[in-house]
Amino acid sequence: MASAQGRQVRISKIASRYLVFDVQDVVYLRRHHDICAVFVGTMPQNPTQNIFMGLPVELLPEEASVLVNKKVAYIVDDPVAHLAELGAMDETSRKSYLQSLRTQRRNAQKAIDEEKATRMAEARARRQKNQPSRNTSEPTPARPEEEASLFDTAVVRSPLPVSGTPSASQTMQIAPGITPATSKEFASGKTHMAEPDVPKPCPLYAHLNSRGYFMTPGLRFGGNYSVYPGDPFRYHAHFLASSYGWDQEITLLDLVGSGRLGTAVKKGFLLGGQKPEEGTAADTDAHATGDWAGGDVRVFCIEWAGM
């Protein structure tokens, strides 16, 4: 894994969604920037279920905005960049890329063969261990030729070749297919694409992220985010957070409903917004501003007593 310092995460924008396909980038974001995102990919080993998901991970627009503002990530319009890179590849680059795919296929097939050989050896050892000892001095009576020809259904197999290394053509026929997830592997950097617009940031999200909190979508609890004091693998969420504009009206029904719901699920209801700078008009919607660092963010917590 590349060093954390100077690492640039590629965020693929596909159908207005912000996706990260590289597992090393996912680990880097979780370890160093307190962003875990949401796995949305199908598991190849079990594609018919939707409980356990795999790569890629989907970032919230505010997560992508925070990473770009920190200069640790960049956004790529993946469909456009893919076609542009394919058109810019020369013959040498194309052959080199195809050769890298063949190498990955051979490595994958080698790993599969080694795992299969290990399983066969373990099964053979178990059979030998469980097989009762027999007296080999007594010869086994041979069956009549007619009985063998009428009732013997065993298939005579040709002996396996002595050499355990298949030829190159055989390897290419049985090797698994490699499908690259993104265009990153053959991106040459020669094509200059206009970067997509960075999504507008959320002041509350940036404020909490800068203080080491992890956040996941809070829709199931009726808020914008579920806020964790550390990695969600180790902690339960402590707050149910919603973002508001500084002068935005908050109805009493929202305060009562969110406050009681947060307390019922053992969480505090956290609300916050960005205070406008001196001499500027009050922002009516925190999500509409593009300069979340311009003013202070104030955060308040409500907990319902007696529940």
Which residues are marked as active site?
228, 236, 267
Phi then psi for residue 3, to 5 deg, are -60, 150
H-run or E-run covering 130: helix 91-130
Q: Do residues 11 and 76 touch, judged by C-beta distance below 8 A?
A: yes
- List of E strands, 266-307: 268-274, 297-302
Query: Residue 40, SS3?
Result: strand
Q: What angle do CA 25, 29, 30 make, to 5 degrees?
A: 120
Q: What angle do CA 56, 59, 62 make, to 5 degrees?
A: 170
Query: Residue 212, SS3?
Result: coil
